[in-house]
Amino acid sequence: MNKQGNTYTIIYIVVLVLVVGAALAATSISLRPRQQANADADKMRQILASVLITPAPAEVIPTFEATVSRRFIVDAEGAEVAGDAFAVNVAEQSKLPSAERLLPVYECRLADGSVKYVLPVYGAGLWGPIWGYVALDADGSTIYGAYFAHQGETPGLGAEIEKPAFSSQFEGKQLFKGAHFLPVAVVKAGRKPAGDEDYVDGVSGGTITSKGVGAMLSDCLAPYEAYLSTLRK
């Protein structure tokens, strides 16, 4: 075959593309278990962060297994349903009507013997998704800790939601006022919400992201009202 001809060039390119594509596909498949393991470990780290535990990277999995005594799913009526909470895609569930969602719960037992309940939340910021975990005391109302993260919020502005200076404000806030369920509001510093709900200051310069956190808490925690009410009893 004439190596200077167009036919040779086309065949060479096609073969090269097939070989490189096959190699990339094989590499991706072989690395998938490791990528999933890393993603799972990061999720465990975030859940632990909500109960104020920050283990070294190598200790995340054993610490998670020692801390999370039970993980389960409830529905909007507060009843447990079959399935693994860790496998629930919260992003997909957040798109469904509240009554149809699978609601993961992580029951944690801390070193002092206290029990906390961690609930995942997911929403939208200015530039992309935001998410997090809210840990509650055994009374089903008092926030013990919180962790928030984002995909692409502006550094120094909306991205500040992942800093302790923001998340630590939630500690001690209440989700219930008497018999009424009122998720914590996120408001501009120096202001108060119109209602009686507890509130925290939003991020300075990150108004849209702050509003996104408030909307995320309202949308994702409200479906847990029935379950949290059982804890209060």
Which residues does 180 contact at the CB level (< 8 Å), separation at least 6?
Answer: 196
pLDDT (tens digit, 0 to 9) for every residue of the chain, 233 residues total?
A: 555 656 666 776 777 777 767 767 666 676 566 667 788 999 999 999 999 999 999 999 999 999 999 999 999 999 999 999 999 999 999 999 999 999 999 999 999 999 999 999 999 999 999 999 999 999 999 999 999 999 888 898 899 999 999 999 999 999 999 889 999 999 998 888 878 899 999 999 889 999 999 999 999 999 999 999 999 87
- The answer to whether position 11 is within a domain reads no
- Phi, psi (degrees; rounded to nearest 5) at 201: -80, 135
- The answer to whether position 22 is within a domain reads no
Which residues are 130's β-sheet partners?
123, 150
pLDDT at 28: 66
- The answer to whether position 33 is within a domain reads no
- Phi, psi (degrees; rounded to nearest 5) at 153: -70, 160
Inter-residue contact 92 to 216 (CB < 8 Å): no
pLDDT at 196: 86
Distance separating alpha carbons of residues 47 and 41, to the nearest angstrom: 10
- The answer to whether position 157 is within a domain reads yes
CA angle 41, 45, 46 (to 5 degrees): 120
Q: Sheet containing 115-124: give its strands across.
A: 80-81, 68-74, 103-109, 115-124, 129-136, 143-150
Structural domains in the chain (count): 1
- The answer to whether position 169 is within a domain reads yes
- The answer to whether position 40 is within a domain reads no
Which residues does 206 contact at the CB level (< 8 Å), separation at least 6?
Answer: 126, 153, 154, 157, 158, 159, 160, 161
Range of the domain at 131: 47-232
- The answer to whether position 1 is within a domain reads no
pLDDT at 233: 75
Dihedral, CA of residue 209, residue 210, residue 216 and residue 218, to nearest 10? -160
- The answer to whether position 18 is within a domain reads no
- Phi, psi (degrees; rounded to nearest 5) at 53: -115, 125
Nearest to 224 by CA among 98, 110, 40: 98
Distance separating alpha carbons of residues 228 and 140, to the nearest angstrom: 5
